[in-house]
Copies of this chain bind each other. A is one copy, B any other.
Amino acid sequence: MRRTVLIASLFLIGHSLFAQNEDSLFIRRLADEVLVNGKAYDNLYDLTKNVGARLAGSPGMVKAEQWGLKTIQKSGSDKAWLQECMVPHWVRGGQDKAEATYNGSSKKSLDVTALGNSEGSGPKGVTADVIEVKSFDDLESKKDQIKGKIVFYNYHFNPTFVQTFRSYGDAVRYRGAGPSRASKYGAVGVIVRSMTHSTDNVPHTGSTSYDPAYPKIPAVAIGLKDADWLSTQLQKAPVKVSMTTYGHFLPDTIGHNVIGELTGSEFPNEYITVGGHLDSWDLAEGAHDDGAGITQTIEILRAFKALGYKPRHTIRFVLFMNEENGMRGGAKYAEEAKANNEKHIFGLESDAGGFTPRGFSFGGKPEQLEKAKSWVPLFYPYGVYEVTRGGGGADVSPLAGLGAAVSELSPDSQRYFDYHHARNDVFENVNKRELELGAINMAAFIYLVDKYGL
């Protein structure tokens, strides 16, 4: 009995070692292809510098869709197409401005950006005394002093969370719900401390969402140095701020997910999806958010083709539209998949910046998570040390409703919020090799799911 078990074990070990070896060799070839012949960085240059900002509904969106289709085709897809979806069409409408009057009659211009989806003040602007609140509890305790004021949410990004996405998750409610909660008590405008650990003064936009029960008041984010300055001034004497913003919605318009496909040789009707989002905020090049995910997605396609890899399942390379202020593209993709009765087994996304990869978060059944974890030794040489229980990215998450496991690349998060939704999210702040290593690990993950299933 013992001997039989021993032999069986040796056989299993032998088999598994052989498979691991074959896999590690293929992943090494993938890595060499990306590190030596990679196009992700050049494509990112092209997308950020020649297309630029590409918010849903904007002319930049249309240009980006055409760029995406052409680049996917050029990278070797078996087929490629645009998948139509209606998208919201918010425009900034003008140059956001804010000026503080302090210390009697001294003036200081503040570096601000209107929150995405916010309603502008119009050219007249809004001028009012500022009241600082540190939190929603603080707002509630001051609710009788809010009327006619501009509420300044000075909630700090928590420095003690090592994973900066936790600081974001903690602070982002002030951007999302802050304007309407202030409006409820009669505020006429809102200034939100930017969601960042940065050491500069660059303001960070991002979606806000109004509660229809209250007036839609103008809302801006302010850079950290100006936020600290404003807080200090308010401790000394009243500060009045004049802010002028022009944001508004135009009618919904037509946008598209851009989809490329490598058709599966054994299971053409079973789908693996990998993607990022093609739209960006209007004020930046969207290099980390999410030019990185876009160019990594296309790089995986290019590398598979370059190595002559024939997938068993159909792999879809998807550039999703409108993640930033509506997530209509991700919803549309899942909706059509459902309508077409498609069988989706896996959705993988990169939307946390083109930084050095450290892991994958994974949402699926416990045994699927265990299987994914068993592959970590194969990722390890390329910097991914763990697969952790979590979710997929925003755009692939709806595929979970169709029974797919979903995942997202977890790059190192320390620098992400230095650039997130801000004008400094530019090509120059992306490192070529960090971007490539993300693509390599994602390609390896797709390869393993394609080969072994989940």
Residues of A that sit less than 8 Å from B by CB: 31-32, 35-36, 41, 159-160, 162, 164, 197, 199, 356, 358, 381-383, 385-386, 412, 414-415, 418, 431-434, 437
Contacts and interface: CB of A to CB of B under 8 A. Distances in A.
B36 A159 contact: yes
B431 A414 contact: yes
Given A199-B41, A412-B412, A437 B356 contact: no
A41 B159 CA distance: 14
Given A162-B382, A382-B162, A433 B356 contact: no
A383 B432 contact: no
Copies in the complex: 2
A385 B386 contact: yes
A190 B8 CA distance: 62
Contacts of A41: 199
A35 to B, nearest CB: 4
Given A199-B41, A356-B414, A414-B356, A162 B434 contact: no
9 contacts: A35-B162, A41-B199, A162-B382, A356-B412, A358-B358, A414-B431, A414-B434, A414-B437, A415-B434
Contacts of A160: 31-32, 35-36
A306 to B, nearest CB: 15
Given A162-B382, A356-B356, A385-B386, A433 B197 contact: yes
A385 B386 CA distance: 9
Nearest to A199: B432
Contacts of A356: 356, 412, 414
Nearest to A356: B412
Q: Which of A356, A358, A412, A418 has the most CB of B within 10 A?
A: A412
A425 to B, nearest CB: 15
